[in-house]
């Protein structure tokens, strides 16, 4: 019997060698799917990739098959070594499983997901003028001179 611990749910189960990881999740009440409880999943055929999990020790599971390898090639190379499709993995040792992992480490840094950007005038690093008579062009502008004539005549 091998111990499978689901990190986010804080659930541990003991399963025999060769048990399908997806089935171990479902039998213990852990949902391996990110949304809708697997309504849109392929039901364990390895086509959709919605049951992807992160494992602490990839050697504690069976080796990936062709379908799983094809799916994992599309993911971030740093994380692909620890990610597995739970429907395609059989338990061969003690393992810690994280359901619904981040598939890309830097997805929150993408401009679309990072939220609205501030306009350039709000992020300007120049200091604001302290004198209200001084504009951003650096020239002092005071009240108009009263000793100047309103109209200039050419005669």
Domain range summary for the chain, segments of one domain joined by + = 2-36+44-108
CATH superfamily, domain 2-36+44-108, is Beta-grasp domain (3.10.20.30)
Largest Cα separation within the chain, whole Å, is: 110
Residue range 53-79, pLDDT digits in tens: 999 999 999 999 988 888 888 876 777
**DSSP letters for 36-82:** GGGTTS-SSSSSS-TTEEEES-GGGBPPP-HHHHHHHTTS-HHHHTT
Q: What is the pLDDT of residue 33?
A: 87
Question: Of the candidates 108, 2, 16, 7, which has an alpha carbon nearest to the alpha carbon of residue 53?
Answer: 7
Task: Report the alpha-carbon angle 91-96-99, nearest 5.
Answer: 95
**DSSP letters for 2-37:** EEEEETTTTEEEEE-TT-BHHHHHHHTT---SSSGG
The rounded distance, in Å, linking the Cα atoms of 2 and 21 is: 12
Does the predicted TM-score (pTM) go above 0.85?
no
Low-confidence ranges of the chain (pLDDT < 70): 76, 103-155
Q: What is the pLDDT of residue 55?
A: 94
């Amino acid at each position: 019997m091998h111990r499978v611990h689901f990190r986010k749910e804080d659930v541990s189960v003991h399963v025999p060698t060769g048990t399908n990881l997806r089935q171990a999740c479902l039998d213990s009440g852990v949902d391996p799917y990110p949304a809708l409880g697997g309504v849109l999943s392929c039901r364990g055929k390895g086509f959709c990739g919605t049951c992807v999990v992160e494992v602490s020790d990839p050697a504690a599971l069976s080796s990936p098959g062709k379908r799983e390898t094809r799916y994992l090639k599309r993911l971030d190379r740093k994380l692909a070594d620890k990610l597995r499709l739970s429907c395609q993995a059989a338990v061969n040792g003690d393992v810690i499983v994280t359901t619904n992992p981040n598939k890309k480490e830097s997805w929150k840094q993408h401009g679309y997901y990072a939220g609205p950007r501030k306009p350039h005038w709000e992020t300007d690093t120049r200091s604001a003028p302290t004198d209200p008579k001084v504009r951003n062009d650096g020239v002092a502008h005071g009240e108009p001179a009263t000793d100047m004539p309103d109209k200039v005549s050419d005669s």
